[in-house]
A and B are shown apart, each in its own frame.
Chain A
């Protein structure tokens, strides 16, 4: 496969970002490879209804 890119003029006025979070990247420039991964676990069993039992601590 041939992949040809012609980068012509790139000029941006204003960048307004509220948040860059959780291993995100805001890049003004070029990059060869970018790999971003995110696992986000909020399963049903994460919702605990009942007494406030603390999570098991670090031993």
Chain B
């Protein structure tokens, strides 16, 4: 086991970002963790210091792995000593991901992501039952400057953001 050689003739990777790894060669352990708070707002308004991972259970809850109780006798026979790939083309490797050419004994990786979506009251309204009623489609094309909802400092007075100037509205 783990005795085959990987042969890659050509490799093309455009972007490697957010603690990702491109490894050529063997390794014994690989451990990676990625955490993300993903906020989408209808208006481009972001404060930069928002959010704490500790506030959300998704970042702390244990991930259960069911142990293998049964005794498994493994037998591997590698009849060809080479794994051959002619060309690898990857546009992006992101968020603690791995591209490895070679063998790795133990690999563990986890990703925890929490999503938020904030939509203006004027465009959509809650109808209960977790359903959203979209209003007149013509309202969707309203330029932000004419939008009936304005986000000003008064909205956040008294909050921990009182001294934070929101980014310039478009």
Q: Which residues of A approach B to under 8 Å, CB–CB?
A: 1-42, 44, 46-59
- C-alpha spacing A14/B65, complex, angstroms: 34
- C-alpha spacing A56/B114, complex, angstroms: 14
**Chain A residues in 8 Å Cβ range of B89:** 14-17
Main secondary structure of the interface of B (DSSP, over half): strand
The one of B82, B85, B95 in contact with A15, judged by C-beta atoms closer than 8 angstroms, is B85
The reply to whether A32 and B2 contact each other, CB–CB distance below 8 Å, is yes
Q: Which residues of B approach A to under 8 Å, CB–CB?
A: 1-4, 6, 8, 20, 26, 30, 32-34, 36-37, 39, 41, 43, 45, 47, 49-52, 55-56, 58, 61, 63, 65, 70-80, 82-121, 124-126, 130, 132, 149, 151, 155-156, 159-161
The one of A5, A15, A24, A25 in contact with B88, judged by C-beta atoms closer than 8 angstroms, is A15
Main secondary structure of the interface of A (DSSP, over half): strand
The reply to whether B118 and A52 contact each other, CB–CB distance below 8 Å, is yes
Nearest B-chain residue to A38, judged by Cβ: B111
A1, A19, A25, A37: residue with the most chain B Cβ atoms closer than 10 Å:
A25
